[in-house]
Amino acid sequence: MLFEVPFNTHRVLDMLDIPNIKFKPTQIDYPMVKSSNLIITMATSHKKNIITKFKNIQENKIYNLTELSNIILYLQTEKIFSRETIKRSEAAVSSTGFIKSTFIKQAISEKLKEQKNSKRPKQGDIVKSIQEKILAIKNANKESLLSTGELDIEDPFSNPLEVYLEVANLIKENIIIVFNYLFG
């Protein structure tokens, strides 16, 4: 079956300065599903269809885009507010409740030294880092984060151009979150 990209999709890509790279929709198949580390859908129904159609696949590698970006934000928040961070911060707070300036200066100094001494990461290290982040995503307790109704990105097909633009911006925002996490 041959699919065509709707004309309004091309118009929105032009409006967002995304180069036209001759997108061609492809039907998902078993080799594609089997070899993928992550499968990102736009709607819960897409996710359920993949799970139903391809019985022996890992369900924890299939995510709605919004679900995936929310899991990433959750993981980043957990990292920021981990007990270790809180303990270090408590040690830096004076009896008046203000953070000691020496602690801030020391933290900035350590970060600058880290950046100065850090070498350009090797490709293997980058791949390993991305794989570790994907594993963290797969192990997150995603059921407690959002209900499935909040996850769907509606298909703008046959709607006015403004709807296409709203959907494109939503997709763009979520993709930026995913890419910054995986490759940042």
Q: Hey, what's the torsion of the CAs at 173, 149, 139, 167, to 10 degrees?
A: -20
Rounded to the nearest 10 degrees, what angle do helices 65-80 and 123-139 cross at? 100
pLDDT in tens, 47-90: 999 999 998 888 889 999 998 998 898 888 877 776 554 444 44
Question: How many domains is the chain built from?
Answer: 1
Whole-angstrom CA distances from 141 to 19, 81, 116, 147 are: 36, 17, 37, 13
List alpha helices for the chain, DSSP H: 7-15, 30-35, 44-53, 65-80, 83-92, 101-117, 123-139, 161-183
Buried-state track 156-179, b at ≥16 Cβ within 10 A, e below 16: beeeeeebbbebbeebeebeebbe
pLDDT for 119 equals: 66
pLDDT for 32 equals: 93
Tell whether 125 is covered by a domain: yes
Tell whether 100 is covered by a domain: yes
Separation of CA 130 from chain center: 12
Tell whether 54 is covered by a domain: yes
Q: Which residues share a beta bridge with 138? A: none
Tell whether 2 is covered by a domain: no
The answer to whether residues 167 and 156 touch, using CB atoms and an 8 Å cutoff, is yes
Residues spanned by the domain of 57: 7-183
The answer to whether residues 29 and 38 touch, using CB atoms and an 8 Å cutoff, is no
Tell whether 73 is covered by a domain: yes
pLDDT in tens, 20-32: 777 778 889 999 9
pLDDT in tens, 99-152: 445 555 565 566 566 656 666 677 778 888 888 999 888 888 655 555 555 678
How far apart CA 122 and CA 124 sit, in angstroms, is 5
Whole-angstrom CA distances from 84 to 12, 19, 91, 98, 177 are: 45, 44, 11, 19, 25
pLDDT for 22 equals: 76
pLDDT for 115 equals: 58
The mean pLDDT value for 2-16 works out to: 85
Tell whether 1 is covered by a domain: no
The answer to whether residues 175 and 167 touch, using CB atoms and an 8 Å cutoff, is no
pLDDT for 107 equals: 59
pLDDT for 95 equals: 45
